[in-house]
Amino acid sequence: MASSASSHRVAVIGASGYGGLQTLRLLQDHPSFRVTFLGGERSSGKRWSELTPFLPLPDDPVVRVPEPDAIAAAADFAVLSLPSGLASQLVPGLLERGVRVVDLSADYRYGRLERWQEVYVSEALQMPRSDADLCAEAVYGLPEWHGDRIAAARLVAAPGCFPTASLLGLLPFLKQGLVDVGGIVIDAKTGTSGGGRAAKEHLLLAEAAEAVAPYGVVGHRHTSEIEQIASQVAGQQIQLQFTPHLMPMVRGLLATVYCRLRDPGLTADDCSTVLHSAYRHSPCVEVLPVGTYPSTKWVRHTNRALLSVQADGRTGQLIVMGVVDNLIKGQAGQGVQCLNLMAGLPVTSGLPLLPFYP
């Protein structure tokens, strides 16, 4: 694989999946990271070119079973892009061997192991865990809010795609106490790649094309993740309503957050100023002018989140809209953004911020 004495060595585990593929693509163009280990299960033992002829890698590596010793011998950092529960089987061994980890799954997104076990019940039954200490140690990898802690972390839990778009819009208003913490509603839409690359009936073209449908209404797993971070920032317990919808598109995610303004006299311009101020030093977040509403197409293949806000003086509602590419700012790009911070690099290093349109 690519060689350079000055670059950081990265293992990508789950390389053949959607998150793994985006991570590899981003790291191929990155000036300071090089990929030195590819991990997978079904793909292990295969040459990369057999699996993925459209994304050639230097020296055409073989995908390997992800054993901590082998990963630690090859890499300083590991990006884990695995189905729920599997990262927790690898992470303790990697940290013991000095490998710093960015996990793209939910395994370390909850500060308490018990909370993960409540939300991810089926995985918890199949994969018993006793790494409560690591759940407490892991840093939630939303760089715009936890940048300093990410930079110093051994273990970063990158947020889910829905939480990324929802929290970026909501948190500035919670932090300043500008909205009621009760009655928050998030209505979100995602493309089918949000379900990963493994075959699933509801993601077949014949099922998902020319259709829009809600799913996970009441109790979607990302609800608890959004509530956890929103509660931390608000300084009080928050319960909110979150409803995702599957859209007939491959990638992209829109989250529209509705909440009640404490001061119904606040205008859209006032609220836009709140967002501008929160993200004035965040190159991966852009706030659109009031009255301009974001499209998922404006962020495709980029690590940028676009936010826009409206205030309805008639109803006293604040409406915050956020779009991300679920596979980039919602997953692999955010992972690379965290790697940049951990390695002391500029936060946007190697990350695309402009789309090819349309």
Ligand X SMILES: NC(=O)c1ccc[n+]([C@@H]2O[C@H](COP(=O)([O-])OP(=O)(O)OC[C@H]3O[C@@H](n4cnc5c(N)ncnc54)[C@H](OP(=O)(O)O)[C@@H]3O)[C@@H](O)[C@H]2O)c1
Residues taking part in catalysis: 161
Is 16 near ligand X (CB under 6 A)?
A: yes
Is 86 near ligand X (CB under 6 A)?
A: yes
Nearer to ligand X, 170 or 319 (CB): 170
Nearer to ligand X, 69 or 269 (CB): 69
Q: How far is the CB of 17 from ligand X (least distance, A)?
A: 2
Q: What is the dihedral of CA 146, 342, 226, 191, to 10 degrees?
A: 130
Nearer to ligand X, 15 or 167 (CB): 15
Answer whether 341's CB lies under 8 Å from 151's CB.
yes
- CA dist 170 and 205 (Å) reads 33
Contact stretch for ligand X (CB under 6 A) within 15-23, 67-75, 289-297, 302-310: 15-23
Is 221 near ligand X (CB under 6 A)?
A: no
CB atoms within 10 A of CB 292: 12
Per-residue x/- track, 120-159, ligand X (CB under 6 A): ----------------------------------------
From candidates 327, 328, 338, 342, binder to ligand X by CB under 6 A: 327
Answer whether 212's CB lies under 8 Å from 248's CB.
yes
From candidates 79, 82, 151, 234, binder to ligand X by CB under 6 A: 82
- CA dist 159 and 331 (Å) reads 7
Per-residue x/- track, 158-197, ligand X (CB under 6 A): --xx-------------------------------xx-xx
Is 224 near ligand X (CB under 6 A)?
A: no
What is the pairing mode between strands 241-246 and 185-190?
A: parallel
Contact stretch for ligand X (CB under 6 A) within 14-22, 174-182, 264-272, 286-294: 14-22
Per CB under 6 A, contacts with ligand X among 190-219 are 193-194, 196-198
User: Which residue matches tokens 């967002």?
Assistant: 275
Helix H or strand E segment including 306: strand 305-312
Q: How far is the CB of 39 from ligand X (least distance, A)?
A: 6
Answer whether 352's CB lies under 8 Å from 302's CB.
yes
Q: What is the CA radius of gyration of the chain?
A: 20
**Nearest one of 36, 91, 92 to 63, comparing CA atoms:** 36
301-328 as b/e: b if 16+ CB within 10 A: bbbbbbbbbbbeeeebbbbbbbbbbbbb
Per CB under 6 A, contacts with ligand X among 35-54 are 39-43
From candidates 104, 113, 230, 339, binder to ligand X by CB under 6 A: 104
- CA dist 331 and 351 (Å) reads 13
From candidates 7, 8, 10, 19, binder to ligand X by CB under 6 A: 19
Binding site for ligand X (CB under 6 A): 14-20, 39-43, 66, 81-84, 86, 104-105, 160-161, 193-194, 196-198, 326-327, 330-331
